[in-house]
Amino acid sequence: MKVTDPIIINRTGVKNRLTMAPTVKFDYAGADGKVTEKHIEHYRERAMHGCGLICVEATAVTPDGRFCKTHLGLWEDGQIEGHRAITSACHDHQATVLIQLNHTGIQANPECGTAIGPSAVSIGDPERLSREMHIDEIHRMQEHFTEAAFRAKQAGYDGIQLHGCHGYLINQFISRKTNLRTDEYGGSTENRARFASEIIHMIRERCGEDFIISVRTAGIEPDVATAMDIAEEYVKAGCDYLQVSTGIEWDDPTVGENGEPYNPICSLGIRFHEHFKGRVPVSCVNGILEPALAKYLIENDLVDTVDLGRALLADPAFSEAVFSDAPYTKCFNCPRCQYGPGMPHRCPAEAKRN
């Protein structure tokens, strides 16, 4: 297998095995959550240089579920038009394009909304607790995700990705640390996966069989076996594509540095690929900053696709370096990525390139 080989996800052809991971642009949107020209050009440039699949950054399904007041949204119809410009820009370069849908849950920014989640748990301070969601609130939130997915389809996206890791709302439902419920949304693996599984069913019914439904899922929660059981529930519900990262808890001695050219987080996607091989495609992410590593992962059939984050932030043409050994600007691998909150768009590699 080669990195330039196409792949079918659901019923959509993707032209190669390189995908752009969702990375939030914290200072692009305004308080209205609408797409700006900066967003459009950002994604156009990565598509233009050959990335096969673009996953647009985490996008809020409600205004109170944002990271901050400058967080992209799809919670109302007035935001559709801007997203249509992103999909058009990507499709002009034959890139498949998804959008990641998210709610922060107990990690809510207090400037945007109340910290809510599956259970009342500490949110950084033992005396500060999140508010437990009632059943009717859970169902309303599922509708918010579904409505945002339908808006994404109207905007021309080929599908959506549910943000099911990194400690946000869907991840909070699957983690025993943040989900203490004893009803149908807590307890067993099946119950803890129910919140997202029902969203998958609802999106499928609303958006059709051809629409790609992906989940960026926790590869360890608290161990790999449990995380795989959760992902099995997503696949049973109709998930077409698993993009694997990390969750809230990490308690698995089988995951660690082992002399491989990829890191432990990347290894989670590799293990999921082995488990789900032949059923749904699987990607890995994290620390893939060299073209040789991207090719190694695909050519050795370790994963179906490779998610690129910082490498594509440092150089939008990184894909060309993977395909043809073209020169590229390297990510500096800063301890805290300079694209992060509080330090938006001060990437030293980007400055060097310009």
Q: Is 1 domain-assigned? A: no
pLDDT of residue 129: 94
Helix (H, G, I), strand (E, B) or coil at 281: coil
DSSP for residue 67: S
Query: Under a CB-based contact definition with an 8 Å cutoff, are residues 101 and 149 in contact?
Result: yes
Domain membership flag for residue 242: yes
Exposure b/e, 180-201, CB count within 10 A at least 16 = b: ebeeebbeebebbbbbbbbbbb
pLDDT for residue 340: 65
Tokens of 244: 């694997």
Residue-level pLDDT at 350: 75
Tell me, yes or no, whether 124 lies in a domain: yes
Per the CB < 8 A criterion, the answer to whether 323 and 301 are in contact is no
Return the pLDDT at 345.
Answer: 63
Report if residue 2 sits inside a domain.
Answer: no
Domain CATH for 249: 3.20.20.70
192 Cα distance to chain centroid: 19
Round to whole Å and give the CA distance between 134 and 60: 20
The answer to whether the beta carbons of residues 222 and 251 sit under 8 Å apart is yes
Whether residue 56 is contained in a domain is answered as yes
In whole angstroms, how far apart are CA 292 and each of 297, 306, 326? 9, 12, 12
For residue 83, the enclosing domain spans 7-353
pLDDT at 339: 72
Specify the pTM. 0.97
User: Per DSSP, what are the bridge partners of residue 129?
Assistant: 122
Phi and psi at residue 158, to the nearest 5°: -80, -15
Residue 242's pLDDT is 98
Report the number of distinct structural domains present in the chain. Answer: 1
Mind listing the pLDDT tens digit of every residue in the chain (354 residues)? 999 999 999 999 999 999 999 999 888 999 999 999 999 999 999 999 999 999 999 999 999 999 999 999 999 999 999 999 999 999 999 999 999 999 999 999 999 999 999 999 998 877 789 999 999 999 999 999 999 999 999 999 999 999 999 999 999 999 999 999 999 999 999 999 999 999 999 999 999 999 999 999 999 999 999 999 999 999 999 999 999 999 999 999 999 998 999 999 999 999 999 999 999 999 999 999 999 999 999 999 999 999 999 999 999 999 999 999 999 999 998 888 877 665 556 788 877 776
Q: Considering the domain boundaries, does residue 22 fall inside one?
A: yes
